[in-house]
Amino acid sequence: MKKHNFSAGPCILPQDVLKKASEAVLNFNGLDLSLIEISHRSKEFVEVMENARNLVKELLNVPNGYSVLFLQGGASLEFLMTAYNLLKVDGKAAYLDTGAWAAKALKEAKLLGEIDVVASSKDKTYNYIPKNYAIPADVDYFHCTSNNTIYGTQIKEFPKTDSLLVCDMSSDIFSKQIDVSKFDLIYAGAQKNMGPAGTTLVIVKDSILGKTGRKIPSMLDYQVHINKDSMFNTPPVFPVYVSMLTLQWLKDLGGVAAIEKINEEKAALLYAEIDRNPLFKGFAEVEDRSLMNVTFNLTNEEDKEAFDKIWNAAGISGIKGHRSVGGYRASIYNAMPIESIQVLVNAMQQLEK
């Protein structure tokens, strides 16, 4: 039976990418050596790293003056690296609290300085994005999380600020068009839309670095990684390679503009059923609904056993909601085909019947 993978991450990847990646593990580029056993200093892997970085620049129209890095540690390490590299000694930063990951980011930053939480949606279990908040003029940077995987909310319009703008785009990077020039630092774990867990994409404006007045450990210093072309230490060769393949797949599909249109169609199909079907209700506020993570609950919890049997029988996987929200979460990242969305819609309609 075909599986329909709605996992929140590590998540679905294109089948063509998985096939090419598996072949490379056995025999990479006809070398009769595995991708994961060749030197990361070899010209073959240096070419992989360069291709991956260039695809990021091309797909997101990254302006001159920005560096693209593939690092390790996930977004969780970026929570700390952001503060180390941008928060001045005795400085202050502003954070928008829109979910569990945003809260973890500000927790790490508090280790290094004063943090001003400008707004929070914790009062309603993070089911909306705060609006009309003020960002203080005296902060070193403002940090936000573009898409909240657990709660199914997404920032539709980013605030204007005179301070540096930092964004964790782990779960919606490459899913829609963005103007990179409006941001000073973007970071994203690979395991949602780009590749397997193990590498983290960082896009940083070069001119903002080296101004904190603090000593930064080498592994946490963006400038060190820029100087070494993402190879200060042995890079995660397999995740970088699979990310390169996924970015090439996206380019061949027509790029970010093309996938954005597809993603809008997929989300519209599923949200329409949630709103139409009296047995279901959406969790997130309508205006803040995510195009990547669709969160919903049953109107009557007594239907849970019956619905779980239906979607399991249909080959659906990974739609159980996060424990803090309950219900269901359908993660519909770039590689999720619309046919799988229809299978879930059919399951919801079967429960209704």
Question: Tens of pLDDT along 275-319?
Answer: 999 999 999 999 999 999 999 999 999 999 999 999 999 999 999
Would you place residue 150 in the very low, low, confident or very high pLDDT band (cuts 50, 70, 90)? very high
The pLDDT score that the predictor gives to residue 173 is 98
Domains of the chain, residue spans: 4-9+255-352, 16-253
Name the least confident of 1-5, 83-87, 177-181, 344-348: 1-5
User: pLDDT tens digit string along 49-75?
Assistant: 999 999 999 999 999 999 999 999 999
The reported pLDDT for the residue numbered 324 is 86
pLDDT above 90: residue 251: yes
Q: Which of 176, 192, 205, 266 is catalytic?
A: 192
Is 101 an active-site residue?
yes
- Scored b (16 or more CB within 10 A) or e, 101-139 reads bbbebbebbeebbebeebbbbeeeebbbbbeeeebeeeb
Q: Record the pTM.
A: 0.97
72-79 average pLDDT score: 97
* Catalytic residue check, 311: no
Q: Do domains 4-9+255-352 and 16-253 have the same CATH topology?
A: no
Q: Which pLDDT score, from 0 to 100, does residue 254 have?
A: 98
The catalytic residue among 97, 101, 184, 221 is 101
Rg (CA), the chain: 21
Q: What is the pLDDT of residue 353?
A: 93
Whether 192 sits among the annotated catalytic residues: the reply is: yes
The alpha-helical segments, DSSP class H, found in the chain are 15-26, 43-60, 74-86, 100-109, 222-227, 237-253, 255-276, 304-313, 338-352
Architecture of domain 16-253: 3-Layer(aba) Sandwich (3.40)
What is the C-alpha to C-alpha distance for residues 220 and 150, in angstroms, rounded to an integer? 27
Of these residues, 97, 140, 168, 288, which one is catalytic? 168
Structure token pair of residue 15 = 């089948």
DSSP 8-state assignment for residue 318 = S
What's the CATH superfamily of 4-9+255-352? Answer: Aspartate Aminotransferase, domain 1 (3.90.1150.10)
